[in-house]
C-alpha cells in the first residue's frame, strides 16, 4: 500500500500536482495522507481541496485551514498570513468550506498518528526541540507520528536514555521502519522553508516498511502568477523561488 504523505500545501496546486505525478511515476498510489495547511498563502485553494477530495485523502486540519473557516482567530497570525486567510475565506465555496471546517485535528491510521503541529497543540506548536519531542513521544500511542507546520523535513528517533535529536532528511533519504519510535516531518509541498525551493514529501511503502523523503521541481512561475493575480502580497510569490 504505497502512501503519499504531504503537508503544508498552502493552495499551491502546481506543487501538489508535481508531487502526485512524481509519486505515481514510481509506484501506483493507494493512499494520500495530508497533515494540514491545505490553504493559505497561495492562489489556488479550490483546486487543492478538489484534488485531495478526489483521492479521498486522510486529512487533518492546520491553523490556516481552521482560520479560513472561522474556527480560529487570526490575531496571532502575522499580517501577511492573516491577509491570505481572509482572501481564502472569501474564495472558498460553501461546500469546500464545509469540508475544510469538518477536518479533525488528529487522526490515526495503522501504526501512524497524524497531526499538523504536534499532539499536545495540533493547531499551533512548532515541534522543533528536544523537550517538545519528548512530550510528543509521551502522547504518541502509535509507533510513529507525523507532523508538519514548520515546513522543515526531519525525523526524530526515540532511543532509550538518549536525548531526542532532529535529523534533517534531504532528497532521497530513506529509513527502514523497525521498533524504534519516530516523529516524522515530510516537509512542505507548497512553501518549503529550508532553502530548497523544490516541493517536499514522503513516500511510505508499507510492504517494504520504508519511508523515503523526496524533493520535486514544479512550476514555481505558475504558482507565483496565481499569487500575484489574486492580489496577495508579492513576498508570498518571491519566497517560493528561494525556498524560505
Contact footprint for Zn ion (CB under 5 A): 8, 37
Residue number, 169 or 188, with CB nearest to Zn ion: 188
Residue number, 22 or 65, with CB nearest to Zn ion: 65
| Smallest gap from residue 149 Cβ to Zn ion (A) | 6
**3-state SS class at 139:** helix
Q: Report whether 131 contacts 166 (CB < 8 A).
A: no
Nearest-angstrom CA–CA distance, 102 and 160? 38
Residue number, 37 or 125, with CB nearest to Zn ion: 37
| Smallest gap from residue 192 Cβ to Zn ion (A) | 11
| Smallest gap from residue 96 Cβ to Zn ion (A) | 18
Report which secondary-structure segment, H or E, holds 241.
helix 234-242
Residue number, 181 or 188, with CB nearest to Zn ion: 188
| Smallest gap from residue 193 Cβ to Zn ion (A) | 9
| Smallest gap from residue 37 Cβ to Zn ion (A) | 3
Nearest-angstrom CA–CA distance, 216 and 19? 6
| Nearest one of 42, 40, 82 to 65, comparing CA atoms | 40
Residue number, 177 or 189, with CB nearest to Zn ion: 189
Q: Any idea of the CA torsion for 241, 187, 77, 116, to the nearest 10 degrees?
A: 160
Give the torsion sign (CA, 116, 121, 123, 129): negative
* Residue closest to Zn ion when measured from CB atoms: 37
Amino acid at each position: 500500500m504505497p502512501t503519499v504523505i504531504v503537508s503544508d500545501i498552502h493552495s499551491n496546486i502546481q506543487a501538489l500536482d508535481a508531487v502526485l505525478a512524481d509519486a505515481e511515476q514510481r509506484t501506483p498510489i493507494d493512499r494520500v495522507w495530508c497533515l494540514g495547511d491545505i490553504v493559505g498563502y497561495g492562489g489556488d485553494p479550490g483546486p487543492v481541496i478538489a484534488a485531495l477530495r478526489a483521492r479521498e485523502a486522510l486529512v487533518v486540519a492546520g491553523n490556516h485551514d481552521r482560520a479560513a473557516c472561522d474556527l480560529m482567530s487570526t490575531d496571532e497570525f502575522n499580517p501577511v498570513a492573516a491577509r491570505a486567510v481572509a482572501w481564502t475565506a472569501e474564495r472558498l465555496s460553501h461546500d469546500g468550506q464545509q469540508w475544510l471546517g469538518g477536518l479533525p485535528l488528529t487522526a490515526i491510521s495503522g501504526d501512524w498518528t497524524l497531526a499538523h503541529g504536534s499532539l499536545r497543540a495540533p493547531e499551533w506548536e512548532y515541534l522543533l526541540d528536544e523537550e517538545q519531542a519528548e512530550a510528543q513521544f509521551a502522547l504518541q500511542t502509535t509507533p510513529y507520528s507525523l507532523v508538519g507546520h514548520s515546513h522543515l523535513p526531519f525525523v526524530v528517533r526515540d532511543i532509550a536514555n538518549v536525548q531526542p535529536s532532529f535529523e534533517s532528511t534531504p532528497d532521497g533519504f530513506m529509513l527502514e521502519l523497525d521498533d524504534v519510535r519516530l516523529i516524522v516531518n515530510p516537509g512542505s509541498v507548497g512553501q518549503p522553508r529550508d532553502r530548497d525551493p523544490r516541493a517536499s514529501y514522503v513516500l511510505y511503502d508499507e510492504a517494504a516498511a520504508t519511508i523515503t523523503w523526496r524533493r520535486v521541481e514544479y512550476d514555481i512561475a505558475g504558482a507565483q502568477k496565481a499569487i500575484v493575480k489574486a492580489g496577495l502580497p508579492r513576498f508570498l510569490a518571491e519566497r517560493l523561488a528561494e525556498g524560505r
